[in-house]
Amino acid sequence: MPYGAVDFHHHVKEQTNLNQTNTKSILDKCEALPCLCYLGHAVTEKGYNYVVDFIEKLLRFDRNKKYKFVISSYLDKATEKQNVQNYREKVLKLQKIYPENIEVFSEPLTMEQYNNALKSSDIILLLYDPKIYSTCFSGILLEAFTYGKPVIVRSGTWLAQQVVELGGGVKILLNCSDGSS
């Protein structure tokens, strides 16, 4: 599917909280079982700490709709120092609760696995920290646009600016249940 083949532009300019989000309208445009994918390193600056809350809120948002989540959850020595182990345990607990809906990769993805996950996903989660990514580039965003995959990004990031300018996604306000933003 070439970039721009799916019209998400009417969702882009809205800034919303996930509790009252227009994300459902984006997901309804996808196939029968929309697949949301978090790729990259399991680090807080790339929003790994929001994955659990995002999944829980989305599954509560519309319990009649099924979603599939593919989560890259590899922790190396550097990420373990960032105290993300707690979030990984929550992701794995959610996987046990919803085994048919959540696939977790606990080891580094091979290039083939990464490309397959990207190609088979319907929406890419880029929940990057606005404090760090207000001016930073994302390779995953570029790859998502290349494959025509819509993205969900956080407001205040460079990624959100690209979504507003180019379309292809929605920006959201998102706070963790632990009170962080």
Helix, strand or coil for residue 29? coil
On whether residue 90 sits in a domain, the answer given is: yes
What does the pLDDT read at residue 79? 61
Q: Is residue 140 part of a domain?
A: yes
Q: Classify residue 34: in a domain, yes or no.
A: yes
In a domain, 178, yes or no: no
Q: Which residue has the tokens 């070439």?
A: 2
pLDDT at 125 (0 to 100): 94
Whether residue 120 is contained in a domain is answered as yes
The confidence score (pLDDT) of residue 82 equals: 61
Output the pLDDT for position 126.
Answer: 93
| Residue 180 covered by a domain | no
Contacts of 36 (CB under 8 A, 6+ apart): 58, 67, 68, 69, 70, 121, 122, 123, 124, 125, 152
SS3 12: helix
Q: At what angle do helices 158-166 and 139-146 cross, to 10 degrees?
A: 20
Cα→Cα distances 70→40, 107, 150, Å? 11, 13, 15
Question: Looking at the domain assignment, is residue 141 inside a domain?
Answer: yes
CATH code for the domain in which residue 166 is found: 3.40.50.2000
Q: What's the number of domains the chain is made of?
A: 1
pTM, entire model:
0.76
- Please name the helix (run of DSSP H) or strand (run of DSSP E) that holds residue 152, with its range, or none: strand 151-154
27 in Cβ contact with 61 (< 8 Å): no
Q: Write out the residue range of the structural domain in which residue 154 sits.
A: 9-173
pLDDT tens for the chain, residues 1 to 181: 222 223 333 233 333 344 334 444 444 444 567 899 999 888 888 999 888 888 888 877 766 667 889 999 888 776 666 678 888 899 999 899 888 888 999 888 899 999 999 999 999 999 999 999 888 888 899 899 999 999 999 999 999 988 888 887 777 766 655 555 5
Domain annotation covers residue 181: no
Q: What is the pLDDT of residue 61?
A: 78
